[in-house]
Amino acid sequence: MDNHRTASQDSHYDVIIIGAGASGLYCALTAGRRGRRVLVLDHANKAGKKILMSGGGRCNFTNYFVEPEHFIGSNPHFCKSALSRYPSWEFIAMVEQHKIPYHEREHGQLFCDDSAQDILTMLLNECSAVGVQVRLNTQIDSVQALDNDKNDKNDKKARFKLLTSKALSKKDKQAQKDLAHQSTAVQASFCCESLVVATGGLSIPTMGASGLGYELAQQFGHSLITTDASLVPFTFTDKTGELIRTLAGISIPVIASNERISFKLPLLFTHRGLSGPAMLQLSNYWQTGETISINLLPDIDMTALFLTHKKSHPRQLIRTVLADYTDNALPKKLLAALQTTLWDDIKDKELANIKDERLIELGETLNGWQLKPSGTEGYRTAEVTRGGIKTDEVSSKTLQSNYQDGLYFIGEVLDVTGWLGGYNFQWAWASGFVCGEVV
Ligand code: FDA
């Protein structure tokens, strides 16, 4: 490593934050306000890339109704302290102070009227107002805990030393390979008293996601809860997959559930599988191999409806009974596809000629279609990473490591995953805030 060194510099900061994303920037501005000398390092060429792409470009920055129940993790109590000390109205107050126009959508979700850029600009302005330095295109090569006895006498509080080099783009990497012996990597070293890991999760690698946070946690003796893509669409490979693909573009209100939870929200058929808020929310609670249940007509007891119609309109066909719902709940194309899949054998029979047991079975299927996803679209499209650094080994009050003084973990890198609806950003702000208050 040393023979690659063409420039060297040691700089001391009170706080170094790895990751200029949502939690890192919030932590930086909070610590900066307390007069701390803060440096934020990021390997990406731009800060807050996920903020910019969030909420379809309008950033669902928080939610009016934030409860611990909106978060999952192996220790469900861990998030309570930070969330209660930094409620959503604190962030809303900052948004209003910056005169960012916003609006509420269903379920208390708050979005920018104009652009997610407004939120990022606000955070960067708040950071620069308190002297926070943000250094992009910086790759972290190593992090070392300093032995206090050996510290420089003038630099007693340095607990960590970081070696960094210029993060190389694909083009740069190729150029460097071509030059084989003449490395252009500039290396700089930084020391700090408090080191905050805010590197986020693994979703959307093209946006700068990396496993560095998990590696650092393990370096300092922390355990990880298995990570997986979450808030992510489901995929299907069997016949159901073929059926779903033919219905791409159709959206219907459903109740999507498994044994642990259910969500009454829209479902979207896509060319790749099932998406929409109902599926994304359920994915937080889904384990590989599990079956999911979809109530296609959540407001109607289909079994009761079929049996009543059998008495009152015995000559009706099933599709005629369901035709009443084709305007909104069951679009015609979906009804036709369901008929082929679910009741092809009785499609031309009058209700009077269909056994009650068969009607009950069909009613139960429409109110609880059992599907077995083959998987999910994975980190490529997932909004978040489920799992992460085990929270039992981190203080819920300060976010400090139980094993290494001065080391902190915030945001999505921890095993705290929020629902869809602004909860993941609220966790980022809240964990960034409580950490920024103590570093
Ligand atoms: P975040 O990912 O924001 O930041 C991590 C930073 O660390 C990045 O800047 C990255 O470059 C940097 N980094 C990673 N590895 C590094 C390394 N090796 N060296 C240096 N730097 C490194 N949530 C929500 O509440 N409302 C919403 O509307 C949305 N919408 C949304 C859309 C999409 C497409 C995605 C992918 C995600 C969302 N989310 C969301 C989730 C939300 O974006 C996410 O939970 C937060 O950004 C997490 O904040 P963090 O600070 O933990 O990580």
Selection from 49, 331, 87, 427 nearest residue 209 by Cα: 49
Tell me how far apart the alpha carbons of residues 263 and 279 are, in angstroms, rounded to a whole number. Answer: 9
- CA of 165 from ligand 1 middle (Å) equals 22
**How many CB atoms are closer than 10 A to CB 121?**
15
Residues with CB under 6 A from ligand 1: 18-24, 41-44, 49-50, 53-55, 59-60, 140, 198-200, 203-204, 208-210, 212, 383-384, 411-413, 422-425, 428
Q: Assign residue 35 a region (left: φ > 0; alpha: ψ between -120 and 50; beta: otherwise).
A: left
287 neighbors 275 (Cβ within 8 angstroms)? no
Radius of gyration of the chain (CA): 26
Substitution site in 61, 91, 383, 389 for ligand 1 pocket (most atoms within 8 Å of beta carbon): 383
Other CB atoms within a 10 A radius of the CB of residue 390 amount to 19
Same-fold call for 7-229+386-436 versus 234-376 = no
DSSP H stretches of helix in 117-272: 117-129, 170-178, 212-219, 239-246
Break the chain into its structural domains and give their ranges.
7-229+386-436, 234-376
Q: How many helices (H) and strands (E) does the chain have?
A: 14, 21
Instruction: Kindly report, residue by residue over 61-74, the tens digit of the pLDDT.
Output: 999 999 999 999 99
Distance CA 71, CA 73 (A): 7
**HSE toward the beta carbon, residue 238, CA cutoff 13 A:** 7
Q: Top-level CATH class of 7-229+386-436?
A: alpha beta
The CATH class that applies to domain 234-376 reads: mainly beta
Q: What angle (nearest 5°) sits at the alpha carbon of residue 162, between those of residues 34 and 32?
A: 10
Whole-angstrom distance, CA of residue 44 vs CA of residue 26: 18
What single-letter DSSP state applies at residue 401? B
Query: CA 335 to CA 43: how far, in whole Å?
Result: 50
Q: Which atom of ligand 1 has the smallest separation from the CA of 21?
A: 4
- Closest ligand 1 atom, CA of 19? 7
- DSSP SS3 for 271: coil
CA of 4 to the centre of ligand 1 (A): 31
Q: How many Å apart are CA 53 and CA 313, to the nearest integer?
A: 52
For 310, residues 6+ apart whose C-beta sits below 8 A from its C-beta are 351, 352, 354, 356, 359
| Ligand 1 atom at shortest distance from the alpha carbon of 24 | 51
Exposure on the CB side of residue 89, measured as CA atoms within 13 A: 2
Name residues of the chain where pLDDT drops below 50. Answer: 1-8, 181-184
Distance 61 CA to ligand 1 centre (A): 12
Please, is 330 exposed, middle or buried when counting C-beta atoms within 10 Å of its C-beta (0-12, 13-18, 19+)?
buried
92-105 burial by CB neighbour count: b if 16+ within 10 A, else e? bebbeeeebebeee
> What pLDDT does residue 7 have?
41
| CA quadruple 49, 55, 57, 59: dihedral, nearest 10 | -70
Alpha-carbon span 172 to 186, nearest angstrom:
13
Report the pLDDT value the prediction gives residue 151, as an integer from 0 to 100.
53
Which DSSP state fits 412? Answer: G
Q: Identify the pLDDT of residue 186.
A: 66
What are the residue ranges of helices labelled H in 275-355?
A: 277-283, 302-312, 318-323, 332-342
